[in-house]
Amino acid sequence: MSDFSAQVFQNPYLPENGEHVNAVLTIQCSAVQNRPDPLTLGAIIDCSGSMGEGRRIQQAKKAVAALIEVLPEAAHFFVIAGNHEAQLVVPSGPATAQNKVMALSGLQAINATGGTAVSQWLHAARAQFRSSRPGIHRAVLLTDGKNDNSDPLDQVLAECAGQFQVDARGVGLDWQPDQLRKIAEKLLGSVDIVADPDHLQADFLGILKSALGKAIAEVKIRLWTPQGAKVEFLKLVSPEISDITPLARTDPAQPQIQEYPTGAWGKETRDYHLCLRVKPGKVGQRMLAGRVTVLTVLNGQEAKLAEAQVLAEWTDDEARSTLINNQVAHYTGQAQLAQSIQEGIQAQRNGDVDLATTKLGLAYKLAQDSGNEETTRLLKKVVDVIDPERGTVRLKSSIDHADAMTLDTRSTRTRRIEK
């Protein structure tokens, strides 16, 4: 079916009575051999009143039209226009010439009016995916503003988790990165900014290319831990940072086993940072701290794709127990980098120049030290570098809002290092 592998990178040695085990899990799909699972793609487009400003609604409709026109006939699709409610422009169906014409006609009738209730849009998308054939379920969601405060977004995200994936995009500069990050994290997708509406078409076509590159609809990580152990966190750390710990599914009859959805896969590699807390041990004691199994469903039956083990061994050799695995150290730094950027940009928005300078200076040093060239480039758009070795920076006297938004939105992108 496909070639999967799983490797664990860690330092298994703990000091006497040590209890935290850290490991980086690398999962790779090197080839997909059989016919891929079919794709259903949903386009969820903000049509609230603010989208009428400038060229946003016009360019959004053009981008969706371009997406529909190049959809292969084997794919299914639907379109939802959202404001304070969700309007189904075209229901889920095959990408035939007739359905494409109907969708393009429906797009032209969309007007920008009303408020923003993202939960309504996602609820409608969930209904369409539930009525669709099994396979890869993916949606692109575009918005230009802040979600209404009264909107029960968290509740709907919980209902949608595991049903479909969402690539969230913010157009313009009036939306909130934290809100779209939450949607993308809960629904195993991506988040990005499209500051200029003229770039929407290229971005949407890139999302379609990514979706067509997936072949296996659902892959999950099953994690077994011994009695008394606890999962502190499991985070995707490459190609970007996303905490999937809250997505864990547990069978009350098997409390030592937790399962984590990872979404659809193609030919790709992903890294996950796993942190376990185990019962403290004595010098010389060894244990299996965790067993990781990578699974999918094939013809209605579970199929094991790969397996790996996380180990722990207690020692009184300080040189062994204090050594940090370079993979763990790298991704711990990348997580700190993302946090420093987000805190620095928020401080800059709040007018706290000193805190913003401190946080973005730390971010610059972390980006430099880890070789994260993309983030370094984005940071240089909002700070002047005084001392690159120490991470001493000064906020630019005039910061372009688009540059600050882009840095914030893309702060979770990481750089891989060679194993």
Is the pLDDT confidence value at 400 over 80?
yes
Mention every residue, 6+ apart, whose C-beta is less than 8 A from residue 95.
68, 71, 72, 73, 74, 75, 76, 77
Classify residue 417: in a domain, yes or no.
Answer: no
Pair (193, 74) in one structural domain = yes
* Same domain, yes or no: 345 and 266: no
Distance CA 338, CA 412 (A): 5
Instruction: Supply the pLDDT for residue 353.
Output: 97
Task: Dump pLDDT digits (tens) for 348-390.
Answer: 999 999 999 999 999 999 999 999 999 999 999 999 999 988 9
SS (H, E, C) the chain: CEEEEEEEEECCEEECCCCEEEEEEEEEEEEECCCCCCEEEEEEEECCHHHHCCCHHHHHHHHHHHHHHHCCCCCEEEEEEECCCEEEEEEEEECCHHHHHHHHHHHHCCCCCCCCCHHHHHHHHHHHHHCCCCCEEEEEEEECCCCCCCCCHHHHHHHHCCCCEEEEEEECCCCCHHHHHHHHHHCCCCEEEECCHHHHHHHHHHHHHHHHCEEECCEEEEEECCCCCEEEEEEEEECECEECHHHCEECCCCCCEEEEECCCEECEEEEEEEEEECCCCCCCCEEEEEEEEEEEEECCEEEEEEEEEEEEEEECCHHHHCCCCHHHHHHHHHHHHHHHHHHHHHHHHCCCHHHHHHHHHHHHHHHHHHCCHHHHHHHCCCEEEEECCCCEEEECCCCCHHHHHHHHHCCCECCCCCC
Question: What is the predicted pLDDT for the residue at 32?
Answer: 82
Number of structural domains in the chain: 3
**81/25 same-domain check:** no
Q: Determine the pLDDT at residue 36.
A: 86
Q: Does residue 416 belong to any structural domain of this protein?
A: no
Q: Is there a single domain that holds both residue 279 and residue 393?
A: no
What count of other Cβ atoms lies within 10 Å of the Cβ of residue 105?
11
Last residue of a domain, one of 298, 317, 336: 317
Query: Cα–Cα distance between 255 and 277 in angstroms, integer?
Result: 15
Residues spanned by the domain of 27: 2-35+217-317
Residue 238 belongs to some domain of the structure = yes
Using the predicted structure, report yes or no on whether residue 333 has a pLDDT greater than 80: yes
Amino acid 417: pLDDT: 84
Given a contact cutoff of 8 angstroms between Cβ atoms, the answer to whether 395 and 389 are in contact is: no
If you average pLDDT over residues 332-345, what whole number do you get? 98
Query: Tell me, what CATH number does 245's domain have?
Result: 2.60.40.3670
pLDDT value of position 266: 96
Examine residue 65 and state whether it is found in any structural domain, yes or no: yes
CATH number where 49 lies: 3.40.50.410
Q: How confident is the model at residue 82 (pLDDT cuts 50, 70, 90)?
A: very high
> Looking at the structure, do residues 15 and 78 belong to the same domain, yes or no?
no
Distance CA 231, CA 229 (A): 7
What is the pLDDT, as a whole number, of residue 151?
Answer: 77
| Mean pLDDT across 274-293 | 97
- pLDDT at position 140: 98
Average pLDDT over residues 180-204: 97
Do 95 and 13 fall into the same domain? Answer: no
Q: Can you tell me the mean pLDDT for 270-287?
A: 97
The CATH number linked to 363 is 1.20.120.1690
Establish if 258 belongs to a structural domain.
Answer: yes
Identify whether residues 192 and 137 lie together within a single domain. Answer: yes
Which of 317, 340, 369 terminates a domain? The answer is 317
Average pLDDT over residues 98-110: 96
pLDDT recorded at residue 383: 98
Domain boundary among 174, 196, 212: 212
Mean pLDDT over all residues of the chain? 96
**Residues 50 and 138 both lie in one domain:** yes
**Per-residue model confidence (pLDDT) at position 1:** 55
Domain match, 61 and 196 both: yes
Region 44-63: mean pLDDT is 96
- Are 286 and 340 found together in one domain? no
Residue 415 lies inside a defined structural domain of this protein: no
Q: Please tell me whether residues 68 and 152 are part of one structural domain.
A: yes
Does the residue 414 lie in any domain?
A: no
pLDDT tens, 219-264? 999 999 999 999 999 999 999 999 999 999 998 999 999 999 999 9
Structural domain includes residue 198:
yes
Mean pLDDT to the nearest integer, 55-79: 97
Quick one: 208 and 306 in the same domain?
no
Which pLDDT band holds residue 397 (cuts at 50, 70, 90)?
A: very high
Is the pLDDT reported for residue 161 higher than 70? yes
